[in-house]
Chain A
């Protein structure tokens, strides 16, 4: 079909702002991850904007290598897996990370509720790596947890628990999470700790 550029006359058009990147190759990140990659629960695509560049790069590499997203029960992981593969060519992951870095990150509305006081107790085991305020620690390669998609934190903690994430030997940081998640024995513990993370700023 022929590409058409001319917008219908009369509809008010105004350039809001220009993007730093000339092309729109990475626009398809926004298809799943939503406006400014602030996440879309509708298709279980987490918020990416605001994530640390090194963390994003590592996860994309894990998806590309198959170290993440392969287990049969990880349906959203399957959808991300081939996208990681597509980013395998030289420099593509860096460009994607740069693209995400320029988006406008918004604090997501909380969707998970639980016993915050209990969550605070449980979080003591997390704070060593992820910081008392959930701000993360690059020295330990621990990403920030505050202001992430809270439902996604629940999913990932559950995945660590079930071995759907972090079980691949190439995912060494995932293996650490597999070990520490034992301090969250059940579903309630997971939602409680995430409810507490929701209060961190």
Chain B
């Protein structure tokens, strides 16, 4: 057998011929490095000789990041935040916290306990979100593993098995076994053309055997991957009987079965110990003195030099001028604020639809799911609630807060949002009961967050698509005079804190380049 070229060998070869740039490009092509257009990493800003005033509109993650970086380099920064709190959509709810929904304001009634909290916005951090993670390290935000994908959790769909839930591992592995057997049996040697040759036939069949865990005759007779029938280890192992493939195929769950394998959702995921808002608290320790709350922007005028902002505070209008403005206001709200942006910018503000994600958190008086062998992770259902998350912190304590609904579909989000909070919870509990019998028995209190009705947000995760990106992204990202639109909404990663940080970095790097070009920075 000839020794095949390893990836490392290939990179060495590429380097020998084309130098390090070729190595870099080749590595990107092999998927070894993130394919980003700019050099990744935080921009290294030059210190200003003479201070410049920067107003940041919005104290979410992008605004806090920009304030933290700029204020260390001689920029005079102020954050105007419309809400009574900083953090934006990074929102962790604990006892007594106010949920500022425009129509249905609520108060969180969880017990006072360090493990009883609910991350109503972002709740998980993948290992490659290096910018966010670097801030966590720097701001001394303690991280804990987050369990996202759990094969022991449930999959439920009214369309299959009469609505009876099955373990995720059964769905995934029984359907794989079935597909592998079907393919191994129907695969003919002579059909192998194109990228493969008849010589590959045996190898491919062996791959299928491993893929589906087939028996020596390429038959799928069940696998321990789907879970054993019993875990009484005083008896020999006994496989579960494979589930009916035609039943499995009745479910649209196939569309989300690989969720836990995607770039942002696969292990290893993390969460800040004690709640996602520990990140906000970390930033606030550094720049909290620069944040002015309850200041709602009413007017933005881009001037020949600098930007003028009028905001409302305590029922009065206040005018503020700055050399630069970083504007983190959601575009769908910015569209209603008086401004003098050019038309081919302002039209973009109403072009991108707003996200309508919806979440419910329920305090459960017992951690009943742990008795079902579920420690962390997500159960999936094709009902409106879509998912149930189990906390990975506080294991084996008495109580826990589960995520009882997290809808991606805007129609489901609207369906919940138009109900009063107690009816939202009632609906979620009724649906959750199809996964956990007696679910309602454990519910003590809950919080509901309809992001498209939350004060000063009215939406989450801007709903870009390929056509919108093409038409509007560059225009909205480019500065209008000294005014920069930022936030996760101006990134190719909306809905993630990493996207918010990328956008902030992009804007401050541009300001830095302009100041350097003017010779306004220290050598």
A30 touches B312 (CB 8 A): yes
A31–B337 CA distance with the chains assembled, in angstroms: 9
Contact A78 B414 (CB under 8 A): yes
Report B-chain residues with C-beta under 8 Å of the C-beta of A43: 332-333, 335-336, 354, 458-459
B349-A17 in contact (CB<8A): no
Q: Which of A1-33 contact B (CB under 8 A)?
A: 1-19, 21-24, 27-28, 30-33
Contact of A3 among B84, B104, B290, B331 (CB under 8 A): B84
CA A82 – CA B106 in complex, angstroms? 13
Rounded to whole angstroms, the CA-CA distance of A24 and B83 in the bound complex is 12
Instruction: Write the nearest CB–CB distance from B271 to chain A, whole angstroms.
Output: 21
B258 to chain A, nearest CB (A): 31
A35 to B340, CA, bound (A): 13
Residue from the set B292, B334, B417, B452 with the largest chain A CB neighbour count within 10 Å = B292
Taken together as a complex, chains A and B put the C-alpha atoms of A7 and B290 apart, in Å, by: 7
Provide the bound-state CA to CA distance between A86 and B332, in Å. Answer: 23
**Whole-angstrom distance between the alpha carbons of A2 and B292 in the complex?**
10
A12 CA to B275 CA in the complex, in Å?
37
Decide if B333 touches A40 in the complex (CB within 8 Å): yes
Range for the number of chain B residues in contact with chain A: 35 or more
CB contact under 8 A between A4 and B332, given known A30-B298, A31-B456: no
When distances are taken between beta carbons in the complex, the residues of chain B under 8 Å from A18 are: 315-316
In the complex, are the beta carbons of A42 and B332 less than 8 A apart?
yes
Contact A42 B78 (CB under 8 A): no
- Report Cα–Cα, A80/B102, bound state, in Å: 9
Residues of B within 8 A of A78 (CB): 414, 417-418
Instruction: Mark each residue of chain B from 131 to 172: 1 if its CB lies under 8 Å from any CB of chain A, else 0.
Output: 000000000000000000000000000000000000000000
Q: Is the CB of B458 within 8 A of A10?
A: no
Q: Which of B284, B288, B322, B455 contacts A11 (CB 8 A)?
A: B322
Contacts of A30 in B (CB 8 A): 296, 298, 312
Closest to B297 in A: A35
CA distance A5 to B312 in the complex (A): 13
Given contacts A42-B335, A43-B354, contact A4 B315 (CB under 8 A): no
B338 interface residue, CB < 8 Å from A? yes
- Distance between Cα atoms of A31 and B455 in the complex (Å): 7
Residues of A within 8 A of B293 (CB): 1, 3-4
Q: Nearest-CB distance from A145 to chain B (Å)?
A: 21
| A7 CB, nearest partner CB in chain B, Å | 6
Interface: B504 (CB within 8 A): no
- Give the residue name and chain of the A residue nearest to B314 (CB): A24
* Complex contacts, A12 vs chain B, CB 8 Å: 319-321
Known contacts: A11-B320, A41-B350. The answer to whether A21 contacts B102 by CB under 8 A is no
In whole angstroms, what is the CA distance A18 to B315 when docked? Answer: 7
B352's nearest neighbour on chain A, judged by CB, is A42
Say which residue of B314, B319, B354 sits within 8 Å of A14 (CB atoms).
Answer: B319
Please determine whether B338 and A24 come into contact, CB atoms closer than 8 angstroms.
no
Q: How far is the CA of A22 from the CA of B313 in the complex (A)?
A: 10
Q: From DSSP, what is the main secondary structure of chain A's interface residues?
A: mixed
Q: Which chain A positions have C-beta within 8 A of B452?
A: 79
Chain B residues with CB under 8 Å of A83's CB are: 102-103
- Complex CA gap A24/B298 in Å reads 14
Task: Decide: B335 and A41 in contact? CB cutoff 8 A.
Answer: yes
- Given the interface pairs A1-B293, A3-B293, A31-B333, the reply to whether A13 lies near B103 with Cβ below 8 Å is no
B302 contacts partner chain A, Cβ-Cβ < 8 Å: no
Q: Inside 8 A of A11's CB, which chain B residues have their CB?
A: 53, 55, 76, 78, 320-322
Q: Which residue of B lies closest to A83 (CB)?
A: B103
Contacts of A80 in B (CB 8 A): 103
B317 at the interface (CB under 8 A from A): yes
Q: In chain A, what residue has the closest Cβ to B291? A: A4
Q: Per-residue CB proximity of A137-177 to B under 8 Å, as 1/0? A: 00000000000000000000000000000000000000000
Other-chain residue from B55, B103, B299, B458 in contact with A82 (beta carbon distance below 8 A): B103
A119 CB-CB contact with B under 8 Å: no
Which B residues from 433 to 486 make CB contacts under 8 A with A?
452-453, 455-456, 458-459
A36 touches B322 (CB 8 A): no
Nearest to A1 among chain B residues (CB) is B85
Whether a CB of chain A sits under 8 angstroms from the CB of B86 is yes
Query: Bound complex: CA of A22 vs CA of B314, how far in Å?
Result: 7
Query: A85: CB under 8 A from chain B?
Result: yes
Complex Cα spacing A18 to B318, Å:
9
* B310 interface residue per 8 A CB criterion: yes
Contacts of B105 in A (CB 8 A): 86
User: Is residue B38 within 8 Å, beta carbon to beta carbon, of the partner chain?
Assistant: no
CB contacts (< 8 Å) of B251 on chain A: these are none
Is A31 a contact of B458 with CB atoms below 8 Å?
yes
Chain A residues whose C-beta falls within 8 Å of the C-beta of B290 in the assembled complex:
8
* A1:B102 contact, CB within 8 angstroms: no
Does chain B have a CB within 8 A of A50? no
* Shortest CB distance A139–B (Å): 33
B490 within 8 A of partner (CB): no
Chain B residue nearest to A82 (CB atoms) is B103
Task: Give 25 pairs: A residue, B residue, CB < 8 Å, sorted on A.
Answer: A1-B84, A4-B288, A5-B292, A7-B320, A10-B76, A11-B76, A11-B78, A17-B316, A17-B317, A19-B312, A21-B315, A22-B315, A27-B296, A27-B312, A32-B102, A35-B298, A35-B337, A42-B349, A42-B350, A43-B336, A81-B103, A82-B104, A82-B418, A83-B102, A83-B103
Interface residues of A (CB under 8 A from B): 1-19, 21-24, 27-28, 30-36, 38-43, 45, 75, 78-83, 85-86
Known: A4-B291, A32-B336. 20 other contacts (CB 8 A): A1-B85, A2-B288, A8-B290, A11-B78, A11-B322, A15-B316, A17-B316, A31-B458, A35-B336, A41-B335, A42-B331, A42-B334, A42-B336, A43-B332, A43-B333, A78-B417, A79-B102, A82-B104, A82-B418, A86-B103
Going nearest first, the 9 A-B pairs with the smallest beta carbon separation are A82-B103, A40-B336, A34-B336, A42-B335, A42-B332, A8-B78, A78-B418, A19-B315, A35-B338
